[in-house]
Amino acid sequence: MRACFLLKVRPEKMDEYKARHAQVWPEMLKALRESGWHNYSLFLRPDGVVVGYVEADDFEKCHAAMKGHPINARWQAEMTPFFESANGHGADDLMLPLEEVFHLD
């Protein structure tokens, strides 16, 4: 299954957001893989819109597994201030998959 979602980074936080993702904690990378996330990418537009793409056998299950992982709680606590409309919620709470309406293959 493929999942795509949108997030919005605060303009003043974009450079730091990119820097943080250039050095994602090894424990976080391991947790993502162990939770079933594959081919996970984040793309950032100049206006702060983040497009996330991930492949997983079951996105809901993999998403829930990450939300329950202790390393994710630490990561989300540090990353929450980067996002617009977070209102104290972690970015993982804002990951609402978009409906796929076309796929070439």
105 lies in a domain? no
SS3 15: helix
Specify the pTM: 0.88
Cα separation of 74 and 87, whole Å? 17
Quote the number of domains for the chain.
1
* Residue 65 near residue 73, CB atoms below 8 Å: no
Cα separation of 44 and 52, whole Å? 9
Q: Minimal CA–CA distance to 80: which of 8, 19, 29?
A: 8
76 lies in a domain? yes
88 lies in a domain? yes
What's the confidence (pLDDT) of residue 56?
95
pLDDT at residue 86 greater than cutoff 80? no
79 lies in a domain? yes
Average pLDDT of the segment spanning 4-9: 94
Query: pLDDT tens digits, residue range 15-73?
Result: 999 999 999 999 999 999 999 999 999 999 999 999 999 999 999 999 999 999 999 99
100 lies in a domain? no
102 lies in a domain? no
* Beta bridge partners of residue 43, listed in sequence order: 51
99 lies in a domain? no
* Residue 76 near residue 85, CB atoms below 8 Å: no
Residue 40: which CATH number?
A: 3.30.70.100
Residue numbers annotated as active site: 21
